[in-house]
């Protein structure tokens, strides 16, 4: 990785995703096309700005890394403090979760005939380099937790919308009752992907 252009991997991911969403809006094609792009991004964690990897002592954090101007996709870093977890929730859009640092435990749920939620399959553990898909088509309701009790974990997510502005639901796992929420983001600024001036100056020297 070029230290003078540390955000180059994220910029290349954004370029690849932009080309992809310009070619298709088919969910299966988007998930298939985005997977190798995300795999390349999470192969090295040095590009992630420290400000976008800071845990909170009480709550998990979601930092916006980039949002497509037409809100066709967004990229976030999800940061977990030790022992933190989400409630059972959905996304309502397609998404991919790529593990960057640490590890996550996830459990999917499905709705039974009586309206209640029940676990679907075994609990999954994501370690660095692993990728998982979510969507209303492939499975959209789950809960996620930091699998590590002694240090933070970080995952990189790409979603088929401006995920911080999507109206979604959290669920009572016993009754299946839903309560809507909008996640927002944990910071008011995003990384500047487009300042390549240091690398350009160095190349000209």
In a domain, 205, yes or no: no
User: Does the pLDDT of residue 193 top 80, yes or no?
Assistant: yes
160 located within any domain: yes
Q: Is residue 59 part of a domain?
A: yes
In a domain, 154, yes or no: yes
Say if 203 falls within a structural domain: no
The answer to the question of residue 198 being in a domain is no
Helices (H), the chain: 8-23, 27-41, 197-204
CATH number of the CATH domain containing 48: 2.60.120.10
Q: Note down the domain range covering 179.
A: 3-187
Q: List the end-to-end C-alpha distance of the chain, in Å, as a whole number.
A: 20
In a domain, 201, yes or no: no
User: What pLDDT is stored for residue 53 in this prediction?
Assistant: 97
- Whether 73 contacts 158, CB under 8 Å: yes
Q: What is the average per-residue pLDDT within 128-155?
A: 96
200 in any annotated domain: no
Interatomic CA distance for residues 21 and 73, integer angstroms: 8
The DSSP letter of residue 35 is: H
The Cα-based distances of 112 to 108, 118, 144, 159 in angstroms read 13, 7, 20, 26
Structural domains in the chain (count): 1
pLDDT value of residue 9? 97
**Mean of all residue pLDDT scores within the chain:** 95
Segment 38-61, tens digit of pLDDT: 999 999 999 999 999 999 999 999
Q: Is the pLDDT of residue 137 over 90?
A: yes
Q: pLDDT tens-digit profile of 99-120? A: 999 999 999 999 888 888 999 9
Average pLDDT over residues 14-36: 98
| pLDDT recorded at residue 15 | 98
């Amino acid at each position: 990785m070029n230290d003078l252009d540390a955000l180059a991997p994220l910029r290349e991911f954004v370029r690849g995703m932009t080309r992809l969403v310009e070619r298709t809006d088919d969910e299966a094609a988007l998930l298939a096309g985005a997977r190798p792009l995300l795999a390349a991004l999470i192969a090295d964690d040095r590009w992630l700005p420290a400000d976008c990897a800071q845990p909170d002592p009480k709550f998990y954090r979601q930092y916006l890394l980039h949002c497509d101007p037409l809100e066709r996709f967004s990229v976030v870093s999800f940061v977990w403090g030790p022992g933190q977890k989400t409630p059972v929730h959905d996304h309502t859009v397609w998404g991919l979760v790529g593990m960057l640092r640490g590890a996550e435990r996830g459990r999917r749920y499905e709705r039974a005939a009586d309206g209640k939620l029940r676990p679907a399959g075994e609990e999954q553990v994501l370690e660095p380099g692993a990728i998982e898909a979510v969507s209303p088509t492939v499975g959209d309701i789950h809960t996620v937790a930091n699998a590590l009790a002694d240090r933070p974990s970080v995952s990189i997510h790409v979603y088929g919308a401006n995920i911080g502005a999507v109206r979604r639901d959290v669920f009572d796992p016993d009754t299946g009752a839903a309560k809507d929420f909008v996640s927002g983001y944990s910071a008011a600024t995003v990384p500047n992907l487009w300042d390549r001036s240091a690398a350009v100056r160095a190349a000209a020297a």
